[in-house]
Structure 1
C-alpha cells in the first residue's frame, strides 16, 4: 500500500487515466466492428462514411500511445481494403 502522499496521489491519477484509456480503446474497437459489420452487410455508402470515423478513432489512439503506430496502420489498411473491395 502507498505510504506517502505523492504515491497516494499517483494511484488516483493512474486510475483516472486507465479508465479514460479503456474508454477510448473501447470506442475504437466498436468503430472497427461497425465497419466490419457494414462490409458484411455490403452497405458501401455507410461503410465508407463509417470508415472515415474509424480512422479518426485509430489515429487518436495511436497519438495517445494506446496502440502502436504499426498496429494502427495495419488496422486502417485492412479496413480500407475491405471497404474498397465492396466498391
Structure 2
C-alpha cells in the first residue's frame, strides 16, 4: 500500500516540476539543476515501482518526507527556487 502511495506522490512531484513555466522569471543554473535532479529522482522511483512492481517496502518515514515535498512543490506551483528559499525575516 505504501508503495502505491509513493508511486502517486513521486509522479505528482515529477510532473509538477517538469511542467513548470518560468513566465519571465530569472533563470538560475543551480536551481535548474536541482529541479532536474528532483524530477529525475522522483520520476525514476515512480517508474521503478510502476514497471517492476514493489521492489521492497517503502519506509513510512520516507513517505512522509515525499508527501511534505509534494505539498511544498504544489504550493510553490512547481517553482523549486520558492521551495528552497529561506525567509529569515519572519
TM-score (norm: length of structure 1): 0.39
TM-score (norm: length of structure 2): 0.38
Greater helix fraction, Structure 1 or Structure 2: 1
